[in-house]
């Protein structure tokens, strides 16, 4: 926790105004009493300097602000589809059974609170790298892997950035898909990188724009950094196929680009780690590329408040000792690891069911437009593809990101029909001309 002691200038102004008000309301004797009753010793304002006066006021994080707005909403019927966190069929956070078992095991051990090594818990770092690259490949390339414990995905990216900037021959250009998670831009622009965006999603086709993707890679300067989602692209849920990943990898190798994988959703598509790590393993194991991986266990282990992750290729950081030990227990123990994979299937299967249920209800309700794109997407998030004039919050108290990205895990049997009906009614209200045309054709 960080604490700041601010200057007393604003407090001085407040006290001065209070004193002036008392002067107009009280006599001289009461004025003296008032002054004696104020236990204040305020120095001259000219001696007070605020060193943070130039600090900019940053906007609130959009998703967290959305969650706060939903929490404060007094409506008895409301749905939060904004925050990308898993909830069970009753709408409650789910503590994974594998995490519960690992925590109980640790509780029986006589643990101390000694310093960890600078790079973090060794067994956690090794297990995370082995999981990402695969057991056989990890054994072969282990001498060439550097891993550091980090604060989840954001912290991992922030560790990778300075290392790339200060310790490599790569240039400052960082290519990021559009749309993407907002922190990608914030992290790398704050590090002084030249952020370049390329069109990833075709809103007309509601699908991955592969031609634009490949054109961007071919136009990037050699030694540029490319931010890639290992799987379950945020926010679109549209991933390249394995053949497309191979084509992407070949261009990256040919153009001497550096892939930095954001791996925050491993295991959610479709509860299969080998499929979700295909791009990373193919680039490193088959193409022999140097790469960095920002891996997070926040979502796939349900450790949202604890924020456990790793930067796989090295840097200096130490955090989240207890939760790293829980993650290490799960990753290293065959029984817990198998149990965790089953937990991932439980989560991904419920998400898939809710995705299909919402799709079926939208089609059944006659929601304007086509919805095939929604069931073709992967992962925890869904990209509805709604225009900005379709607002679900005011009338229906349904909260989602401005770009119509939703957290599928926020849906359950008790609210999915309500959400489908709300979307349908909003779309029908937004396209009255189409309804009039359909009516006129029957006259």
Give the pLDDT of residue 388.
76
Catalytic residue among 94, 175, 181, 340: 181
If asked whether residues 275 and 224 sit together in one domain, one would say: yes
Contact between residue 93 and residue 85 where contact means Cβ atoms under 8 Å apart: yes
d(CA 145, CA 166): 19
If asked whether residues 137 and 286 sit together in one domain, one would say: yes
In a domain, 172, yes or no: yes
Judge whether 175 counts as a catalytic residue: no
What percent of the chain has a predicted confidence (pLDDT) above 90?
31
Catalytic residue among 175, 299, 325, 340: 299
Q: Say if residue 1's pLDDT is above 50.
A: no
Give the pLDDT of residue 136.
85
CATH number at residue 299: 3.40.640.10
The pLDDT tens digits for 341-380 are 889 889 999 999 999 999 999 999 999 988 999 998 888 8
Strands 201-202 and 207-208: antiparallel
What is residue 268's three-state secondary structure?
coil
Rounded mean pLDDT, 208-219: 96
Based on the number of CB atoms within 10 Å of its own CB, is 97 exposed (0-12), middle (13-18) or buried (19 or more)?
Answer: middle
In a domain, 255, yes or no: yes
Q: Say if residue 223's pLDDT is above 90.
A: yes
Give the pLDDT of residue 149.
84
For the chain, how many structural domains are there in total? 2
Lowest mean pLDDT among 5-9, 239-243, 266-270: 5-9
Give the pLDDT of residue 306.
63
The pLDDT tens digits for 22-65 are 444 444 444 443 344 444 444 444 457 888 888 888 777 788 88
The pLDDT tens digits for 377-406 are 888 888 888 887 777 888 899 988 888 899
d(CA 325, CA 234): 28
If asked whether residues 160 and 186 sit together in one domain, one would say: yes
Catalytic residue among 209, 239, 262, 343: 262
Contact between residue 378 and residue 276 where contact means Cβ atoms under 8 Å apart: no
If asked whether residues 354 and 310 sit together in one domain, one would say: no
Judge whether 340 counts as a catalytic residue: no
In a domain, 280, yes or no: yes
**pTM here?**
0.74
Give me the domain span that covers residue 351: 62-94+345-433
Tell which residue, 344, 377, 334, has the closest CA to residue 359: 377
If asked whether residues 212 and 241 sit together in one domain, one would say: yes
- Which of 275, 301, 332 marks a domain boundary? 332
Give the pLDDT of residue 333.
86
Judge whether 78 counts as a catalytic residue: no
If asked whether residues 66 and 135 sit together in one domain, one would say: no
Residues in the chain: 443
If asked whether residues 325 and 351 sit together in one domain, one would say: no
């Amino acid at each position: 926790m960080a604490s700041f002691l601010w200057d007393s200038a604003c407090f001085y102004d407040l006290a001065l105004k209070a004193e002036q008000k008392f002067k107009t309301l009280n006599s001289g004797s009461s004025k003296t009493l008032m002054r004696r009753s104020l236990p204040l010793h305020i120095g001259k304002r000219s001696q007070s300097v605020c060193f943070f006066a130039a600090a900019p006021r940053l906007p609130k994080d959009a998703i967290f602000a959305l969650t706060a707005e939903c929490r404060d909403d007094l409506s008895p019927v409301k749905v939060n589809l904004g925050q990308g966190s898993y909830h069970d069929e009753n709408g409650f956070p789910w503590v994974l059974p594998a995490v519960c078992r690992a925590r109980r095991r640790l509780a029986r051990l006589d643990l101390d609170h000694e310093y960890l090594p600078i790079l973090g818990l060794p067994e956690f770092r090794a297990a995370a790298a082995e999981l990402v690259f695969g057991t056989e490949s990890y054994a072969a390339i282990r001498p060439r892997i550097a891993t550091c414990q980090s604060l989840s995905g954001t912290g991992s990216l922030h560790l990778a950035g300075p290392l790339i900037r200060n310790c490599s021959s790569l240039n400052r250009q960082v290519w990021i898909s559009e749309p993407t998670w907002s922190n990608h831009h914030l992290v790398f622009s704050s590090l002084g990188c030249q952020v370049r965006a390329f069109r990833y999603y075709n809103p007309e086709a509601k699908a991955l724009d592969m031609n634009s993707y490949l054109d961007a890679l071919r136009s990037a300067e050699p030694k540029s950094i490319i931010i890639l989602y290992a799987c379950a692209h945020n926010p679109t849920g549209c991933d390249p196929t394995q053949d497309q990943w191979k084509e992407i990898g070949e261009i990256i190798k040919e153009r001497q680009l550096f892939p930095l994988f954001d791996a925050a959703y491993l295991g959610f598509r479709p509860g299969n780690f080998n499929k979700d790590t295909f791009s990373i393993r193919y680039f490193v194991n088959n193409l022999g590329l140097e790469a960095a991986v920002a891996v997070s266990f926040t979502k796939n282990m349900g450790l949202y408040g604890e924020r456990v992750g790793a930067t796989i290729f090295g840097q200096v950081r130490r955090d989240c000792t207890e939760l790293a030990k829980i993650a290490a227990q799960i990753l290293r123990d065959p029984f817990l690891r198998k149990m965790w994979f089953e937990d991932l299937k439980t989560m991904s299967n419920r998400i898939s069911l809710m995705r299909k249920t919402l799709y079926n209800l939208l089609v059944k309700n006659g929601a304007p437009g086509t919805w095939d794109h929604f069931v073709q997407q992967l992962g925890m998030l869904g990209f509805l593809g709604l225009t900005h004039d379709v607002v679900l919050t005011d009338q229906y108290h349904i909260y989602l990101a401005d770009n119509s990205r939703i957290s599928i895990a926020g849906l359950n049997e008790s609210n999915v029909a309500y959400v489908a009906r709300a979307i349908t009614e909003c779309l029908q209200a937004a396209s009255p001309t189409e309804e009039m045309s359909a009516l006129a054709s029957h006259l």
